Amino acid sequence: MVKDKKHDTEIVTKPKWFDKDSVTIPMLQILKEDGSFHKDADMPEYDKELIVKIHDTMQFIRILDERMIAAQRQGRISFYLASRGEEAESVASAAALDAGDMIMGQYREQGALAYRGFTVEQFMNQLFSNEKDLGKGRQMPVHYGCADLNFMTISSPLGTQIPQATGYAFGQKMDKTEKCTICYFGEGAASEGDFHAALNMASVYKVPVIFFCRNNGYAISTPAQGEQYAGDGIAPRGIGYGMKTIRIDGNDVFAVLKATQEARRLAVEENEPVLIEAMSYRMSGHSTSDDPTGYRTRDEEAGWQAKDPLERLQKWMTDEGWLDKDHVEEHHAEVKAKVLAALKESEKVPVPHIDELINDVYDEPTDMLKEQLDELKEHIRKYPDAYSKTSGRLD
């Protein structure tokens, strides 16, 4: 065997084929499903305060999701996306970051936003699209954003945040910020061309970005294995682009924390982009518009219920003496009361004034936009009953 110096590769004289079994990527797990640590596991940096905050944030998100799904069913909001079963991925990864790092989510990262301090009132204002919403009521529910918390506003088109994350991280590198960008997406979004362009550019230009893939088994109703990909998941694609890559148990808080801490160090200190594939399961439907009973069984769901990330963490915390049944029940009752109170208050707040509709497009609204707004107001005056939330505030 000789070496081709020009292309820097080994030369063989007989065909040597490689396939999906040529590279097998293991899954990092530190906390077992029974709530005990693997012996000799490489532990993340943590203390009681951090783990309690992670737990309380996960519990908050689960309660928020439950109540807002109910609110959607009651017709109080139009749409919702829950993260039940995937809370450890967003919360524990956010806990591994610096507050100055940029977060670019897809639409199941409310845990990361809550960990950074987004209040229950801010969640509700966005979900009800009222005049206190930071996005001025222009987005669908769960399309959060907060500049103060370095959380880029969610976009509906699938995968658009992935190349944006590469570009933003390129700017962080050029500005020598010593910060990184984390970009979340599902395994379904990894089928988008944006995914491949983003990873290739990030690897070529060595930018401080963490690509965090939540492999929850389904792209809406399309199963991952066999219908989305024939290979060994998403992780091998990172290797193909010359990128540091790891696969982790997404239901294990400690594995998520460890991998993201290491990924941030690689990104910030060595300008190495990283791909993390977190294996988990979406316990809820894709959204409130989805009925998962049409494409998966109750037995399948029950099998993953036994791997519940919140219950697994609670088992370990209880054994450690960091949690007891009273705290869980008291915190649950406290959070539920706060969520319900914020819900009732937010739905009373008026929607943004209609004049806000043409702001923030240009530095100043153009004559054409003003003319279109006047035409819209005339239409609403003609049919006030059809626009009850707006017709009383046109002047």
Q: Where are the alpha helices (DSSP H) in 99-151?
A: 110-115, 120-127
pLDDT in tens, 152-167: 999 999 999 999 999 9
Contact assessment for residue 218 and residue 287, using Cβ atoms and an 8 Å cutoff: no
For 218, which DSSP code?
A: E
For 375, counting Cβ atoms within 10 Å of its Cβ (0-12 exposed, 13-18 middle, 19+ buried), the class is: exposed
Give, to the nearest 10 degrees, the angle between helix 309-320 and helix 48-73: 150
Instruction: Kindly state the helix (H) or strand (E) to which residue 108 belongs, with its residue range.
Output: none
pTM for this model (two decimals): 0.95
Strand bridging mode 9-11 / 2-4? antiparallel
- 282-285: long-range pairs with CB below 8 Å, 24+: 282/84, 282/85, 282/86, 282/216, 282/217, 282/218, 283/84, 283/85, 283/86, 283/308, 284/65, 284/69, 284/82, 284/83, 284/84, 284/85, 285/82
- Taking only the tens place, the pLDDT of each residue in 193-215 is 999 999 999 999 999 999 999 99
d(CA 239, CA 243): 5
What are the tens digits of pLDDT across the range 216-265?
A: 999 999 988 888 999 999 999 999 999 999 999 999 999 999 999 999 99
pLDDT greater than 70 at residue 124: yes
**pLDDT for the residue 365:** 97
Percent of the chain with pLDDT over 90: 92
How does the average pLDDT of the chain come out, rounded? Answer: 95
> Is 274 within 8 Å of 244 (Cβ atoms)?
yes
Three-class DSSP category at 312: helix
Phi, psi of 260 (to 5 degrees): -75, -35
Distance CA 89, CA 252 (A): 8
